[in-house]
Amino acid sequence: MRSGDRDAGQVPYFRCTLEFTCRFIGADMTMFDVKTTARNKTAGKASTRTARQTTLKDSIGISGIGVHSGKPSSIVLHPAKSGSGITFLRKADGNAIDQLIPAHVNNVGDTRLCTVLGNPEELYVATVEHLLAALRGINVDNVLIEIDAAEVPVMDGSSRPFVEAIREVGTIRQSAPRRYIRVLREVKAAHGNAHAVLRPHDGTRFDVEIDFESEAIGRQRFIAELTPEVFAKDISRARTFGFLAEAKQLRAMGLAQGSSFDNSVVIDDEDRVMNEEGLRYEDEFVRHKLLDAIGDLALAGSQILGEYKSICGGHKLNAMILEALFADSKNWCFEDAAPVEDQPMYSTPVGAPVGLEAASQPVAAAKA
């Protein structure tokens, strides 16, 4: 069923957009304002519980540079069979053996500046979150990602280039039903002043809040019931961001070598956005943090049915909440969509509700 279509017996779909400023009492009993943006889209259960998995209709080649390495990087997204999930094929140099690295939290090797899959001392793939957010956000289930470098191309610092490339080739619906991970019990994680909770919810909902001393950012909150339409319109275009002073320090350490105004929102020492074109969204900063969270939580291996709330979070906290979820089998369960025998397999435009089932195996060697 295409997104937005409904049968006579299906709950009518609606969309509402709310923007409001809430006044809260902080832990120190001081008052503060938080600008909150909410995106909500509700459809009948028939559109989500009877979905099939999808893959790409054809292979996609994408090239760019790594934001930290500054080195050229090329990826090719290949169609993959039902149930195979999202897997990286890290090509090795010379006579070394290529590595298959499933996109799963079990394979996270580092979260300090980005999310890294694989062993950072050997073959690995860094900065995977923007690509994974695009695949999860528009519901592409099964993909083999061939990559010839250690870092996914940063492109414009958002997920939009990946979304557009996928839209260009389209997706195809497969025979297997979607598999979810349903959150059964609330789990929490904390790291310094960052806190997160993942709780039961009949859908996929994100509630992300950030708080920066910089007046250019301040305190922002974004709430979204995740759908392909919401992701493409309201989240995918949000770019990574940073401060000019920190960029100078990182470059001195050999990092952020590929960072530029073309792929990052930069804030100067006077709390001004330096990019000539300004911001893509008024609250682009929190939307990008949400984009990162979507990509990082895609490492659960299947679409999560639950609500994720994070305050001042980042890649480490996102990984920690998945570890907390999987620490006890009573916290979650698999839930398969009902088989749909009367729906033909066909190529669908991005935006149709489709499914996800990803591999959870550890890193494996693959011969070239």
Catalytic residue numbers read: 315
323: CB partners within 8 A, 6+ apart: 105, 189
> Going by C-beta distance under 8 Å and a sequence separation of 6 or more, which residues neighbour residue 236?
133, 134, 137, 158, 159, 160, 163, 291
Instruction: State how far the Cα of 149 lies from the Cα of 71, in Å rounded to an integer.
Output: 8
User: What SS3 class is residue 82?
Assistant: coil
State the sign of the Cα–Cα–Cα–Cα dihedral 61, 64, 67, 68. positive
What is the CB-side half-sphere exposure of residue 15 using CA atoms within 13 A? Answer: 10
Structure tokens at 141: 């289930």
Task: Residue 280: name the closest of 263, 304, 300 by CA.
Answer: 263
Task: Specify whether the CB–CB gap between 54 and 351 falls below 8 A.
Answer: no
Q: Which residue has tokens 């979070």? A: 313
Q: Contact at 8 Å (CB) between 348 and 2?
A: yes
Q: Over the range 138-166, which residues count as b (16 or more CB within 10 Å of their CB) and which as e? A: bbbbbbbbbbebbbbbbbbbbbbbbbebb
Write the burial class of residue 76 (CB in 10 Å: 0-12 exposed, 13-18 middle, 19+ buried). middle
- CA nearest to 103, candidates 80, 128, 82, 123: 128
